[in-house]
Amino acid sequence: MNPEILNKLISQTMPFGKYKGKLYCDLPESYLVWFHQQGFPEGKLGELLGTMYEIRLNGLEYLLQELKKRR
């Protein structure tokens, strides 16, 4: 896992939609699953959403919790 991407997941927010302003790491799993089914957007946004989806899918949320504690 790229540490830069992990840091973005805990510090950057969703730029649009129902969850605009919510941290990527706090997006509901159902929203990430929907994006996975529809196809993630191109670019950095898609990379962040896809990474967050994979983290949830594999039960790796603890990685982000540790980073949030250190912030």
Tokens of 23: 């941290």
Q: What is the pLDDT of residues 9-20, one digit of tens each?
A: 999 999 999 999
- What is the phi/psi pair of residue 14, to 5°? -65, 130
Q: What is the pLDDT of residues 21-65, one digit of tens each?
A: 999 999 999 999 999 999 999 999 999 999 999 999 999 999 899
Cβ atoms within 10 Å, residue 40 = 16
For the question of whether the overall pTM of this predicted structure is more than 0.75, the answer is yes
